[in-house]
Amino acid sequence: MTLAERVARAVDAAPVVDLHTHLFAPQFGAMNLWGVDELLTYHYLVAETLRAEPKLAPEAFFARDKAAQADLVWDALFVRRSPLSEAAAGVATVLAAFGLDPAARDLREARAFFAARRVEQHVEDVLRLAGVSALAMTNDPTDPEERALWEAGLAPDPRFHAALRLDRLIAAQDLRAELTRWIARMRPRYLAISVNEVSAPPRAVLDACREHDLPFAMMIGVRRAVNPRLGVAGDGVSAVDLTPLERLAAENPDVRFLVTTLARENTHTLCVVARKFANVLPFGCWWFMNNPSLIEETTMMRLEMLGPTFVPQHSDARVLDQLIYKWRHSRRSIASALTRRYGAMPVPPTDAQIERDARALLGGIAGEWLKA
C-alpha cells in the first residue's frame, strides 16, 4: 500500500466529531431538515442559481414553494450546466451515495426515495455513511420555534450537542440572566457568535464561560447582508485585524477560544495567534473556505505551523444529508495534506502513528473541547 492509501484508510476510518453544524436532532421535528428538496435549496446553491440565471429575480425565486425552487436549482445547475461547484458536486455525491442518479433529468426518482425513508433510520444511515459520531448544533433561543421546543422540555439525541448561539441573544436586556437560564436548559458545550470584526464580548459572556467551563467560539469575518435581496444567501466576507483576538486571549488565559475565520487572508494570522496562545483553537474551514482546494491548503498550513493540535474541519451542514458529502470531500483534502507532511518526514510513519494523528484531527481534539 502506498503512503497515500494508508493515510486515506486511517482518515476514512477515524470517527468525526463535527464542531459546528446547523443540524437539529430528530426530536426537533420539522427543524431537522433532510431530503432532496432541502439539499437543493441550500443557500449556497440558491446564490449560485441566481448568478447562473440573472434573469431570475431573487424575489420571484423566493416567492415559489420549496419544491418549485428545488426544480429551478436542479435545472440551472445540474441539467443545463455541470455540477462543478463544491456545493453542487456535494449534492451529486449525496445522491450517488444513496444509489440515485446525479444526472437525472428531473427529481422524481430522488423525491420518491426520500419520501419512503423513515426519519429515525435515515439519521442512523447518514451518520454511518458520513462517519460522524457526534456533532454540535447551533441553538438560538431567540428563535420562537426553537425556544418553544426547549421550553417544552425537549431532550435531544445524545449525539447532537447543544451550542448556544449569541448573535441575537447578546442584545438581551439582562444578558447574565438569559445566559444562566439557557445554559441550565440547553446544557450547551460552548457559547458561540459570528462577527465581522473582533471585539471583546460583554463581561457576562466571559464570566459564564469561566463559571460553566465552556469555550467561547468566535466565527470571524462575515459581512451580513451584502446583497439583502438574496436573504440568507446574501452575506459576504472581509479580511479583518486579529490583534484584538490576541488581546482577548492574553487577558483571559482561563477562557478557551474556538476560532475560525472566513477570509482566506486571515488563515495564516490565526495560525500565528494560536502559536502564541494555547487557549486558542483554530477550527474548520468555514463557509467560503469550505472548498477542497482551500481545505487542503489550510490544513497544510496549520500542520506546518501547529502540528496536529487543531481541528481541520467542521461541516456547517444545514441539511442532514450534507454530512455525507461534506465529510467525504473534506476527508480527501485532509488526507492529501497529511500525506504531503508525512512525505516530508525523514522516516516514514507507522500505521499506528497515522491512525493516532487521524483520530486526533478528525474527532479526538474536537471531542475533548466538546466533551463529547
- Count of residues touching Zn ion (by CB under 5 A): 1
Q: Is 19 or 335 the residue whose CB approaches ligand RAT more closely?
A: 19
Does residue 257 contact residue 281 with C-beta atoms inside 8 Å? yes
Question: With binding defined as CB under 6 A, does residue 318 bind ligand RAT?
Answer: yes
Q: Where are the alpha helices (DSSP H) in 224-347?
A: 243-251, 267-276, 292-306, 322-343
Q: What is the DSSP string of 84-97?
A: -SHHHHHHHHHHHH
> What is the 8-class DSSP label of residue 60?
H
Question: With binding defined as CB under 6 A, does residue 194 bind ligand RAT?
Answer: yes
d(C-alpha 280, C-alpha 259), whole Å: 7
Spatial CB neighbours of 4, under 8 Å, sequence gap ≥ 6:
335, 336, 339
- Bridge partners, 193 (sequence order): 218
Minimum distance, C-beta of residue 322 to ligand RAT, in the bound complex (Å): 10
**Residue 194 interacts with which of Zn ion, ligand RAT, none, CB < 5 to 8 Å by class:** ligand RAT
Q: Where are the alpha helices (DSSP H) in 187-265?
A: 203-212, 243-251
Q: How many CB atoms lie within 10 A of CB 111?
A: 15
d(C-alpha 196, C-alpha 207), whole Å: 23
Q: Is 186 or 303 the residue whose CB approaches ligand RAT more closely?
A: 186
Question: With binding defined as CB under 5 A, does residue 316 bind Zn ion?
Answer: yes
**Residue 318 interacts with which of ligand RAT, Zn ion, none, CB < 5 to 8 Å by class:** ligand RAT
Minimum distance, C-beta of residue 89 to ligand RAT, in the bound complex (Å): 17
Taking contact as CB under 5 A, which single stretch among the options 84-92, 115-123, 141-149, 314-322 is the one that binds Zn ion?
314-322
Q: Which residue's CB comes closest to Zn ion?
A: 316
Residue 197-226 contact track with ligand RAT, rule CB under 6 A, x = bound: ----------------------x-------
Q: Is 296 or 316 the residue whose CB approaches Zn ion more closely?
A: 316
Kindly list the residues in this chain that would bind ligand RAT in the complex (CB under 6 A).
Answer: 22, 194, 219, 232, 287, 316, 318
